[in-house]
């Protein structure tokens, strides 16, 4: 059984996880299927929109919840909720949405020192409409966060984190792609590890070659759902995708919603059962929270199956309510499942 690889590092880390991602304010509202049809929203996908479209949808939404979001930001918030020490690199503007994002991140226990931009596009926001079947359809205006570049990658944050976690949604612009490679170089030169989530099948389709280069040459830990993995490796089954992924990365985590997850290293495979959910309300952030639990476990000395189990437990919590962040005490929830933190 593979134990955590971090305890033997000669230089203690300041942070467990340093996430690099799209700094986005999530605006979450319930809707019916007719709303999706009326406003031509692709169900279950991340739809990129411009600021005009974002403003239009915002005006037509019903009551909503507004909170800091973005996939990697959700993950490090989850790490903090479990008692970890995460930090975050992401770009916001010095506007109202930027203030919301900064306040929420710091209040959640995430070290977020990135300075807000004083000019350029406004802070990003994602209007997430949730249908009764708990599917979420995202309409995302990238704004300021898409301008993140290599200069925004703080070498000290990356070098002092056990794992640097890259969010695939950020990969659309060449400057952000350059930032990924800069972060990878810093992490590996410091003897640390690099993790990647591809984020979305549409994102994989847009950047398959770029992601494959990262996976083959830079990524130590790949965290993805089954459809992202199949799209990335262009195969027809989850099993084929996992078989290929494990030849490139030290650890591969493949999540499968209600089917749980599979964690594979070069010579070991662990099946992680999904944690029961009384009622699935909103799947927003479930994958992000699984990554949070897994990375927390890995960076705190737990073996792979226990790390995966922590991921499953915290993912189940977020599915049971609206919003991508935990509402209950994750530490108590994990302990109640027999895992000592």
DSSP labels, 3-21: PPS-TT-SS--SEEEEEE-
Residue-wise pLDDT for 163-174, tens only, equals: 999 999 999 899
CA distance 245 to 234: 11
Predicted pLDDT at 106 = 94
Predicted pLDDT at 261 = 96
Note down the domain range covering 177: 15-21+70-116+146-336
Residue-wise pLDDT for 108-140, tens only, equals: 999 999 889 999 999 999 999 989 887 889 898
Residue-wise pLDDT for 48-94, tens only, equals: 899 999 999 999 998 998 888 889 999 999 999 999 999 999 999 99
CA distance 11 to 9: 6
Residue-wise pLDDT for 9-32, tens only, equals: 556 789 999 999 999 998 989 999
Predicted pLDDT at 25 = 93
Assigned token pair, 265: 């290293």
Residue-wise pLDDT for 227-253, tens only, equals: 999 999 999 999 999 999 999 999 999
Domain annotation covers residue 130: no
CA distance 181 to 201: 21
| 187 confidence band (pLDDT: 50, 70, 90) | very high
pTM of the model: 0.88
Domain annotation covers residue 215: yes
The residue written with tokens 């830990």 in the block is 221
Total count of domains within the chain = 1
Domain annotation covers residue 10: no
Assigned token pair, 181: 């490679």
Mean pLDDT, rounded, of the chain: 91
- Kindly give the interhelix angle for 226-233 and 238-245, rounded to the nearest 10 degrees: 70
Domain annotation covers residue 51: no
Residue-wise pLDDT for 271-303, tens only, equals: 999 888 777 776 777 899 999 999 999 999 999
Domain annotation covers residue 123: no
Q: What pairing do the DSSP bridges indicate for beta strands 161-167 and 193-197? A: parallel
CA atoms within 13 A on the CB side of 13: 28
Domain annotation covers residue 65: no
Q: How big is the CA angle at 123 (ends 119 and 128), to the nearest 5 degrees? A: 165
Domain annotation covers residue 132: no
Q: What pairing do the DSSP bridges indicate for beta strands 65-69 and 24-30? A: antiparallel
The neighbouring-strand residues paired with 17 are 86, 163
The residue written with tokens 């319930």 in the block is 30
Query: What CATH number does the domain containing 102 carry?
Result: 3.40.1190.20
Domain annotation covers residue 129: no
CA distance 127 to 28: 6
CA distance 115 to 165: 20
CA distance 107 to 74: 13
Asked whether the beta carbons of 163 and 195 are under 8 A apart, the reply is: yes
Please name which of 56, 173, 69, 73 lies closest in space to residue 126, comparing C-alpha atoms: 69
């Amino acid at each position: 059984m593979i134990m955590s690889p971090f305890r033997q590092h000669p230089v203690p880390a300041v942070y467990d996880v340093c996430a690099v991602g799209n700094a986005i304010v999530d605006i979450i509202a319930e809707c019916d299927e007719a709303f999706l049809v009326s406003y031509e929203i692709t169900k279950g996908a991340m739809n990129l929109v411009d600021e005009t479209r974002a403003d239009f949808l915002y005006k037509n939404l019903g009551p909503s919840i507004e909170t800091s979001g973005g996939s990697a930001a959700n993950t490090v918030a989850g790490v903090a909720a479990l008692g970890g020490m995460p930090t975050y690199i992401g770009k916001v503007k010095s506007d109202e949405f930027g203030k919301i994002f900064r306040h929420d991140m710091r209040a959640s226990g995430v070290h977020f020192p990135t300075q807000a931009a004083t000019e350029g596009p406004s802070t990003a926001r994602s209007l997430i409409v949730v249908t009764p079947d708990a599917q979420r359809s995202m309409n995302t205006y990238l704004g300021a966060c898409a301008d993140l570049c290599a200069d925004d990658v703080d070498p000290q944050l990356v070098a002092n984190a056990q794992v640097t976690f890259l969010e695939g949604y950020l990969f659309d612009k060449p400057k952000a792609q350059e930032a990924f490679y800069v972060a990878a170089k810093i992490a590996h030169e410091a003897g640390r590890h690099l993790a990647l989530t591809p984020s979305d099948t549409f994102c994989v389709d847009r950047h398959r070659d770029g992601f494959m280069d990262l996976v083959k040459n830079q990524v130590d830990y790949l965290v993805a759902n089954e459809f992202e993995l199949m799209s990335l490796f262009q195969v027809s089954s989850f099993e084929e995708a996992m078989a290929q992924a494990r030849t490139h990365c030290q650890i591969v985590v493949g999540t499968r919603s209600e089917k749980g997850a599979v964690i594979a290293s070069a010579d070991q495979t662990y099946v992680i059962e999904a944690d029961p959910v009384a009622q699935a309300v909103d799947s927003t952030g479930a994958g992000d929270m699984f990554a949070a639990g897994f990375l927390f476990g890995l960076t705190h000395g737990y073996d792979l199956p226990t790390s995966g189990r922590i991921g499953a437990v915290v993912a189940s919590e977020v599915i049971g309510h609206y919003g991508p962040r935990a509402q209950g005490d994750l530490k108590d929830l994990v302990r109640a499942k027999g895992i000592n933190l």
